[in-house]
Amino acid sequence: MDIKVKNLKKQYGNKIILDIEELNLTSGKIYGIIGPNGAGKSTLLKIISGLEEPTEGKVYIDGERLDDLKMKHITYSNQKPYLYRTTVFNNVSYPLKFRKMNKENINSTVNDILHEFKIEHIKDNQAISLSGGETQKVALARALVFDPKCLLLDEPTANIDPDYVEIIEKAVIDRNKKNNSTVLIITHNISQARRICDEIIFLNNGKIVEVGNMKEIFLNSNSNIIRKFLDIEYCALEKL
């Protein structure tokens, strides 16, 4: 799916949270959104997914406004993952039931993704009993189970063990390749962005500072804001 954001503004009270003249995202690419806390990253994702209305401006999916049919091909995972008050299996099967898949296919598709995400052992557990990391894994399995054409992922690996992050990254890359899906992923993890993203969108104070490939952003950016942000991130790593 191609996504176009045009003259977008989001305001809470007097405060302008987002102010984006234009942003174009192309099918088949993985985009990373990076920027400081409060930059407007989550708000942008919520607006593209249709969960939040912009104050001004529009989002176009494949040249048209978002409708129920298009929404069925878009997945969104929240920065604060939430699950329905039922079992892990029921949570992950929900998007397939909603899309009217038959019971046999639902069982095999859900079991496949539970296996891929290494969470089969908790499939009958109640969501409410899960740890924070387990909750995030189940929420992501639910987000990816229906082979979406557009993946909007808000800090999907924030609560996840380092040795498990690879499984999530591989799952995202596989869907991107298999379905030529557009992926928009918010991350604070620069190494993750380097590993999986084709392009980076750097957001600060609700504005796009720069859009570019890894080299342009990480090595050659002229923006002081970006250089400072990256320096802080790298210093934190070097201190270890």
Ligand X SMILES: Nc1ncnc2c1ncn2[C@@H]1O[C@H](COP(=O)(O)OP(=O)(O)OP(=O)(O)O)[C@@H](O)[C@H]1O
For residue 38, state whether it binds ligand X (rule: CB under 6 A): yes
Q: Is 226 in the site for ligand X (CB under 6 A)?
A: no
- Quick one: 18 exposed, middle or buried, by C-beta within 10 A (0-12, 13-18, 19+)? buried
Q: How many helices (H) and strands (E) does the chain have?
A: 9, 10
Write the binding mask 73 to 102 for ligand X: x where contact by CB under 6 A, - elsewhere. ------x-----------------------
Min separation Cβ 12 and ligand X, Å: 4
Tell me which of ligand X, Mg ion, none is bound by residue 144, counting a contact when its beta carbon lies within the kind-specific cut-off of 5 to 8 angstroms. Answer: none
Residue 12 in the binding site for ligand X (CB under 6 A): yes
Instruction: Return the one option of ligand X, Mg ion, none that residue 204 interacts with (CB less than 5 to 8 A, by type).
Output: none
Residue 38 makes CB contacts below 8 A (sequence gap 6+) with: none
Candidate ranges 34-42, 104-112, 117-125, 159-167; the one touching ligand X (CB under 6 A): 34-42
For residue 113, which of 76, 81, 139, 151 has the smallest C-alpha distance?
A: 139
d(CA 233, CA 88): 35
Among Mg ion, ligand X, none, the one that 40 touches (CB under a kind-dependent 5 to 8 A) is: ligand X
**Residue 139: in which H helix or E strand, if any?**
helix 132-144
DSSP code of residue 167: H
Query: Nearest approach, Cβ of 154 to Mg ion (angstroms)?
Result: 6
Q: How far is the CB of 38 from Mg ion (least distance, A)?
A: 8
Nearest approach, Cβ of 55 to ligand X (angstroms)? 12
Q: Are 161 and 131 in contact (CB under 8 A)?
A: no
> Footprint of ligand X on this chain (CB under 6 A)?
12, 17, 35, 37-43, 79
